[in-house]
Amino acid sequence: MNCKRCHHTDEAHMKNPESNSLIKVGKCQIPTCTCQQFLDPIQEIDEDLL
């Protein structure tokens, strides 16, 4: 799954060792990327459906 902000995969973002949730994934580890938080496109779709 790709981040909605930077379009890098969730594997490129720092994982929170205490959580397996995609929503709580930290900043992108790609050196040229300035994205600070993984934005899950599915979460936004779910909010639109409410």
How do residues 3-48 score in pLDDT, each as one tens digit?
889 999 988 988 766 666 656 678 999 999 999 988 876 655 555 5
User: What's residue 32's pLDDT?
Assistant: 95
| Residue 5 domain-assigned (yes or no) | no
Q: Is 6 exposed, middle or buried (0-12, 13-18, 19+ CB in 10 A)?
A: buried
Count of structural domains, the chain: 1
| Residue 3 domain-assigned (yes or no) | no
pTM to 2 decimals? Answer: 0.63
| Residue 41 domain-assigned (yes or no) | yes
| Residue 40 domain-assigned (yes or no) | yes
User: What's residue 49's pLDDT?
Assistant: 56
